[in-house]
Amino acid sequence: MPETDSPAIVDFHVHYVDPAHPPALWANARPEIAKLRERTVRRIVDIDDVLESAAAGSITTRVLNAPPSLVAPAGTVLPADTVRAINDHLARQVADHPGRLLGLATVDAWQGEQAADELRRAVTELGLSGAVLDAAADGGDRLLDDPAALPTLRAAEELGVPLFVHPINPRGFTEQLEGVGRAGTLLARGAIDAASLLALLNSRILDDLPGLRVVIPLIGAPALLLGTFTGLVERISRHAPDHLRRHVYVDTMGFDPASIRYLVDVVGADHVLVGSDSPIVAESIDRVDVLAALAAAGLDEPGVVAVAGGNARRLLGVPETVAA
């Protein structure tokens, strides 16, 4: 359908899983939690729901992803043929709905060259726009500066596609904070996502791979705060030279104006992406609410256009002329 609403809104953070490989994230949850999540799980595997909710909210494009930890039971590794099947299925959905859907390949970055080869296949043969990977492996013991992840990072730079660094439930810390409820789980997940970004910033990887682009969700934004005490954030702040700050983007993971303002103040309006984390955090997304949140965050018109969809299109290599 032609794009009639301006600015375009690209929802960068949308979970969708091949129904043949449904989510296992809550397989071991307490009964009361599992019951609450049943509807969410049903929506994650429903492509019609993804499309209908976007149409209802006048969203231009949704970027779909299925991080390995969403599909694999805790403590297990997705077999290579399962990863390929997930990516094949996602590519078919994207091809069937050009302009309305984009896809990030599922990649287990700690599988070395095997993971890098799958990323290359997903981008060059399947036409996917990048990849989603877990922020850590082995329950949080290995972060993205681990040598095993380097082939995937190199492949992403070679291909010119972004990597979406998605949180996991880190072993130990998650259990330690269980008494805090859902907030404790989110804190643990945000901490491991932040740690993985800080590990990249603390290494030479971003110097050695100048074309690498990574996206973290808002939940990982503590890295931006904690990094100020060590100088690690200086290179990605909006005040840094362009050749240094180009690496890191953040998605809004919801539409809280104060949070959006903070992200813009730190990394700049040109490095912030709209993301709903649907259907886990936001059950629906509506352009009126998105634009209202961006306005309430104090963005000027160019900033609104950039955050709403321009940044995502540029990052994902989507021409502005592509219709939804």
pLDDT tens track for 159-180: 999 999 999 989 888 888 888 8
What is the spatial distance between Cα 48 and Cα 92, in angstroms, rounded to a whole number? 14
Range of the domain at 152: 10-316
More confident residue, 225 or 151: 151
Would you call 246 helix, strand, or coil by DSSP? coil
The answer to whether residue 1 sits within a structural domain is no
Beta strand 10-15 pairing with 105-106: unpaired
Query: If you average pLDDT over residues 111-126, what whole number do you get?
Result: 98
How much is the pTM?
0.93
The answer to whether residue 323 sits within a structural domain is no
Identify whether the C-beta of residue 15 lies closer than 8 Å to the C-beta of residue 43: no
Alpha helices in 97-146 (DSSP H): 113-124
Tokens of 231: 């100088």
The answer to whether residue 4 sits within a structural domain is no
What is the spatial distance between Cα 39 and Cα 44, in angstroms, rounded to a whole number? 9
Q: Which residue has the tokens 């540029």?
A: 314
Q: CATH code at 69? A: 3.20.20.140
What is the spatial distance between Cα 257 and Cα 255, in angstroms, rounded to a whole number? 6
The answer to whether residue 99 sits within a structural domain is yes
pLDDT > 90 in the chain, percent: 72
pLDDT > 70 in the chain, percent: 93
Total domains in the fold of the chain: 1
Identify which of 257, 247, 297, 285 has the alpha carbon closest to the alpha carbon of residue 62.
Answer: 285
Band of the pLDDT at 280, cuts 50, 70, 90?
A: confident
Identify which of 139, 127, 75, 100 has the alpha carbon closest to the alpha carbon of residue 10.
Answer: 100
The answer to whether residue 3 sits within a structural domain is no
The answer to whether residue 248 sits within a structural domain is yes
